[in-house]
Structure 1
């Protein structure tokens, strides 16, 4: 166990930062793999939303976060949740490759969220996609990070959702069950066995590529053909079918819970980065989506519902680093990390302490293929983007230009714009100097 002096046990019979109907609510964190906000009917961006009735019901019943931000790709986002730290502190700044990723996983010396939760009376687990281990071959990595009973897809992806290999208890296994269904089956079984309050991190690999036609009973796109060329020519409807299939299985998971347990469970749903460019680049234009430090790569859906969660929408800023401290707070454990803000006040309609957004994408060993590297900082409506190896930053007013099509500095910089840029660059220096 890797507990630091920054973590201490709080009173487990009362929550310090959020008032819940029950003092020990369960927490179900559901992560969608490659889903930007434009894919959800919970947000009004573009016109290419998937049919996801269970998630949409959560949006109507709970809190929708207008400003949830992740890293641009899988591994860094998962590392921020697991560590509560930005990537420049952990070294995980890009997706860990299947081959040649030695030394690029999240260090087992990191004080993980699961190490912290050992100070509580919560049962904990991760089921689904991991993508934090070096080259996806370190079968013991989840255990080393404090996860007691990990089961799932250790690597960043699979060539087939229907035939894939995973890991559990440090050993490899093979499965011929559709991943979205198999992950849900495991989650249903694990929750059913719990006697204590619990935290489950359920990480679907949907809707990550390969695009495909899911089992017919999980979606309503009966007109789609299971043809490789058709999928390649027009992947968007298949992407939507994959999202609907995930939503169907989320509904099955929630329905499997006893009413009392369901009513005592906070469900958080988040995307780990923007949507694949094959299905989203038409909306975001030259800046693309997944893999970029622009909005298309980092602005993701974030929804919460459950006991003590107010119905509505919030403009409050949330980075995925904040999930660490928030889950710990709900479990009754106080955490003091400079990069991780407790957003549980937002759940009850109050404000949190975060007044900026910071995102980054970097690779110091071997540059990952694709994407836009660099960093971005947002304060209020203004966002500065600093692309790696480019001298001049870019500046956007997201209140007028949410898709970042108009760089305010493209035609020169005014005094007022210079002040904004200086302020945001100073915030970057402050973050890296803390």
Structure 2
């Protein structure tokens, strides 16, 4: 229903940046959305109906090899700081109590943006604070305008507690809709170039039925037993609701604003096991260091972006460097593991040789797999804590079904293993 407006600006989205004002930047993060969820990627056969995202894929640049952390907090920390978790200490989902959040001493994306002409804000899920009572944590990280949920999720998508610039209030309304309303209002008030971090909590559990106007198909029963026995339709309905609301957000912008806005869409980690274990296998989805837990959809569209697909390796750390470069912000000499992707956005090849993921911390769910993994253009070496290393030919075995280390290695494969281990040791200084 919203495709017509996006299509109307398709030509403008391909224009070079030269002659344009400083671009607005919209970062949209979907919670618990792996490659298998989107028709933009040929992974599995259980994709949600997301026409707005599919149109974005058709017009923008689709990244086929983008990697996040296996869970939400460390992914967000990598975007916020441009650093891997072993440098910041955020390596797993921060628990409600007794956890260690992202230190305000870290130089953040917003610290840098605050020194530019850009207005900036965060709307949505935070999950970087040590406690759900640490209401001022966004401000401590340089965020001057914040509204959303401080902790990792909500108990109800319809009645929840929101935090606005350090003050907590009860909120009535479907979270995806409320967050979209906030984003629309904030963008509509801007008079200067802006950056908006819009972090939906959907489709994270609980799998609550969205308002009927936001999803198509059969009516879903609001029944816990039905959800537990067959969660996929509910999960997909929540994704479709997110897509519908993103379309509403796009439609709310003037043509001039939309044409001068770079949109970055990404999932924060893989799909949860309830809806993807048949595809990837047990303990191979969200929370694991395997492909199913860390390979995520990523699409970029906007002025100066060359459409198509790219096999360039990407880590979520790279979003930090890319956004800073787009905004002309100075990282102030901060240590960074990120690589500016703007050359890739203009149609050139990427320079990253390895993608690295890690998962560590005290807590975690029983299905979590801690450890680290590193991959090059073809192979991924996986090192689960307390278990033997494994290696997969991701280029030819994208679901990681056959462990190459379970058989006798050819000299060439043995060299690949050694090279991946060396890359890890060089990165970590081990």
TM range (shorter): over 0.9
Tell me how far apart the structure 2 counterparts of residues 105 and 116 of structure 1 sit (CA, whole Å).
20
1:287·1:296 contact (CA, 8 Å) conserved in 2? Answer: no
CA deviations over 1:388-433 (Å, ceiling 9, x no partner): 122x311111121111110001124443322111110110011112
Q: Does 1:312 align with 2:308?
A: yes
Tell me how far apart the structure 1 counterparts of residues 254 and 336 of structure 2 sit (CA, whole Å).
38
Tell me how far apart the structure 1 counterparts of residues 365 and 104 of structure 2 sit (CA, whole Å).
23
Choose 414-423 or 316-325, whichever is displaced more.
414-423
1:20·1:307 contact (CA, 8 Å) conserved in 2? Answer: no
The correspondence of residues 34-113 of structure 1 with structure 2, limited to 5 A, is 34-101=32-99, 104-113=100-109
Choose 408-417 or 262-271, whichever is displaced more.
408-417
**Superposition deviation, residue 334 in structure 1:** 4.4
SS in 2 for 1:239: helix
CA deviations over 1:7-51 (Å, ceiling 9, x no partner): xxxxxxxxxxx9455241000000000000110000011100000
Out of 352, 362, 374, the position equivalent to 1:377 is 374
The alpha-carbon distance between structure 1 residues 225 and 20, as it changes in their structure 2 partners (threshold 3 A), is farther
SS in 1 for 2:233: helix
CA deviations over 1:128-169 (Å, ceiling 9, x no partner): 000000132200000000000100011101110000002112
- Structure 1 length-normalised TM: 0.93
The alpha-carbon distance between structure 1 residues 23 and 433, as it changes in their structure 2 partners (threshold 3 A), is farther
Tell me how far apart the structure 2 counterparts of residues 350 and 65 of structure 1 sit (CA, whole Å).
13
Q: Does 1:177 align with 2:177?
A: no
Tell me how far apart the structure 2 counterparts of residues 137 and 369 of structure 1 sit (CA, whole Å).
26
SS in 1 for 2:281: helix
| Structure-1 residue corresponding to 2:383 | 386
Out of 136, 141, 148, the position equivalent to 2:137 is 141
CA-atom RMSD in angstroms: 1.4
1:341·1:352 contact (CA, 8 Å) conserved in 2? Answer: no
The alpha-carbon distance between structure 1 residues 23 and 429, as it changes in their structure 2 partners (threshold 3 A), is farther
The alpha-carbon distance between structure 1 residues 311 and 132, as it changes in their structure 2 partners (threshold 3 A), is same
**Superposition deviation, residue 344 in structure 1:** 1.2
Out of 183, 202, 220, the position equivalent to 2:198 is 202
**Superposition deviation, residue 228 in structure 1:** 1.8
| Structure-2 residue corresponding to 1:248 | 244
Tell me how far apart the structure 2 counterparts of residues 361 and 301 of structure 1 sit (CA, whole Å).
19
Tell me how far apart the structure 2 counterparts of residues 420 and 31 of structure 1 sit (CA, whole Å).
33
| Structure-1 residue corresponding to 2:29 | 31
2:93·2:364 contact (CA, 8 Å) conserved in 1? Answer: no
| Structure-1 residue corresponding to 2:150 | 154
| Structure-1 residue corresponding to 2:6 | none
In structure 1, runs of 5+ residues without a counterpart are 1-17
SS in 1 for 2:55: helix
Tell me how far apart the structure 2 counterparts of residues 76 and 107 of structure 1 sit (CA, whole Å).
13
Choose 375-384 or 18-27, whichever is displaced more.
18-27
Tell me how far apart the structure 2 counterparts of residues 57 and 427 of structure 1 sit (CA, whole Å).
37
Length, aligned pairs only: 413
| Structure-1 residue corresponding to 2:403 | 407
1:117·1:328 contact (CA, 8 Å) conserved in 2? Answer: yes
